[in-house]
Amino acid sequence: MSGEKPKGAVEVIHPPNKIKARVGPAGKGMDPNLLARAEAAMAKAQEQVDFTVQANPELAKAAEAVSLLLSDRENQAKHLNNLFNIVHDLRGGGGNFGYPLVTRIGGMLCRYLEGRTSVGMVEVEVLRSLVDAMRAVVTNKLKGDGGPVGQELCASLERLVG
Amino acid sequence: MMGYRLDRLTVLVVDDNQHMRSLVRTILESLGVSQILEARDGAHALEKMGQTQIDLLIVDWNMEPMDGLALTRHLRTSSESPDQFVPVIMLSGHTEKARVMQARDSGVTEFMAKPVSARSLYARIVSIIENPRPFVRTNDYFGPDRRRQMLPFDGPDRRKAAGAEAASKQSQPLSGAQQAALNRTKDTIKSMHKS
């Protein structure tokens, strides 16, 4: 709209609140009945999804990306990025479809990768353990908090990645 | 209690994961939204927006070929944007502070960490209705005013700047405690496969 602004200049715009105009003035805050209905519908929908069906092939791709970190070192940055994206999606879906441990371990992996553009043998071993742990959770259908085994797994991984 | 007429809204859900789209659709339908469109990535979303007036976008971060950040930037700054001011709620598996800031800098209206909950989505929709943010234009940004804090995200707050993390992440050998933890992890996984 306008040309180059002087350094530090800020134009503040108050666009019309089209969404408010659309939904009307009658409401205020969240309607608890509506929220309860949405939560119930969501719980029902979550039960109908078998997360392992989408997670298994993605975890296989994650394991492949970890292997490539050593066998194709020239393209490590690409493989790290690929691994991050795969795990990021699993991390997002796990908690919504009954596998919060996948979200928890995936979160550890994403944080471990944050800021890394290259890795050595040690880091690859850590990454492999994280991916193997997610695979074990999914293969064994460790839903919810995973019980004592799931908790033990997460505790040792947290000690590993700090 | 008379609530907002959410049935009058047209919402576009943009996510490459069909299960996630379906879950968000379920929440929206339960809240009364009747016009829900879906797109599988940013480019597909723009195509849909060329055909229908959208009141609100719910956008995943990670998508190919056009991700949620690129879509938001396009909406805010492109001369071909169908609506520069359309509210955008970004969903993401990212919970790190630096990532939330990255989303904010692309021009999203609200950020929401996965896992998605009906409460957090509803709260953000109500926030957009009741507390619209002014837009600001500077030399390097156009979008909702970033000085107003977005709603708290749901995940743990890892207050680490990406740069600081990068500097601290050099390749180094495992400590004794880490090696023990690695061994313990491997043993646990092995026992899980046996049982």
Q: At B32, list the tokens.
A: 């009364």
> In this complex, do A19 and B128 lie within 8 Å of one another by their Cβ atoms?
yes
Contacts of A118 in chain B (CB under 8 A): 171
The per-residue pLDDT for B158 is: 44
> In this complex, do A149 and B2 lie within 8 Å of one another by their Cβ atoms?
no
Q: What digits encode the pLDDT tens for the residues B23-64?
A: 999 999 999 999 999 999 999 999 999 999 999 999 999 888
**pTM of the model as a whole:** 0.85
Contacts of A34 in chain B (CB under 8 A): 3, 30-32, 122
Q: For residue B177, is pLDDT > 80?
A: yes
The per-residue pLDDT for B60 is: 94
What is the spatial distance between Cα A42 and Cα A46, in angstroms, rounded to a whole number? 6
Average pLDDT, chain B: 87
* The listed CATH number (1.10.3430, 1.10.8, 1.10.150, 1.20.120) that belongs to domain A51-161: 1.20.120
Whether the Cβ atoms of residue B134 and residue B87 lie closer than 8 Å to each other = no
Q: For residue B162, is pLDDT > 50?
A: no
Least confident window among A31-35, B73-77, B146-150: B146-150
Domain ranges of chain B: 6-144
Q: At B192, list the tokens.
A: 């899980």
Helix (H) or strand (E) holding B71: helix B68-77
Tens-digit pLDDT string for chain A (162 aa): 444 556 678 899 999 999 999 998 877 889 999 999 999 999 999 989 999 999 999 999 999 999 999 999 999 999 999 999 899 889 989 999 999 999 999 999 999 998 888 899 999 999 999 999 999 999 999 999 999 999 999 999 999 998
Nearest CA in chain B to A100: B115
β-strands B135-137, A11-13 pairing? antiparallel
Contacts of B132 in chain A (CB under 8 A): 15, 17, 19-20
Q: For residue B166, is pLDDT > 70?
A: no
pLDDT average, residue stretch B87-94 = 92
Contacts of B98 in chain A (CB under 8 A): 114
Is the CB of residue A53 less than 8 Å away from at least one CB of chain B? no
The per-residue pLDDT for B134 is: 93
Helical spans, DSSP H, in chain A:
18-23, 32-47, 51-71, 76-94, 100-113, 121-139, 147-161
The per-residue pLDDT for A94 is: 93
Nearest C-alpha of chain B: how many angstroms from A107? Answer: 8
Closest by Cβ to A133, choosing from B19, B92, B189: B189
The per-residue pLDDT for B96 is: 77
ipTM (interface predicted TM): 0.84
Q: For residue B68, is pLDDT > 90?
A: yes
> In this complex, do A34 and B193 lie within 8 Å of one another by their Cβ atoms?
no
Domain ranges of chain A: 51-161
Nearest CA in chain A to B67: A85
**Has domain B6-144 been given CATH number 3.40.50.2300?**
yes
> In this complex, do B191 and A133 lie within 8 Å of one another by their Cβ atoms?
no
pLDDT average, residue stretch B150-164 = 46
Interface of B with A in 65-84 (CB under 8 A): none
Half-sphere exposure of B188 (CA within 13 A, CB side): 26
pLDDT average, residue stretch B133-151 = 83
What is the spatial distance between Cα B55 and Cα A19, in angstroms, rounded to a whole number? 6
CA distances from B170 to A116, A149, B182 (A): 8, 31, 19
Band (B98; pLDDT cuts 50, 70, 90): confident
Q: For residue B157, is pLDDT > 90?
A: no
Q: What is the DSSP secondary-structure string of B142-187? A: EEE-TTSPPPPPSS--B---HHHHHHH----PPPHHHHHHHHHHHH
Residue B65: asked if its preceding bond is cis (omega within 30°), the reply is yes
The per-residue pLDDT for B127 is: 94
% of chain B exceeding 70 in pLDDT: 87
Closest by Cβ to A115, choosing from B1, B8, B162: B162
Is the CB of residue A29 less than 8 Å away from at least one CB of chain B? yes
Is the CB of residue A21 less than 8 Å away from at least one CB of chain B? no
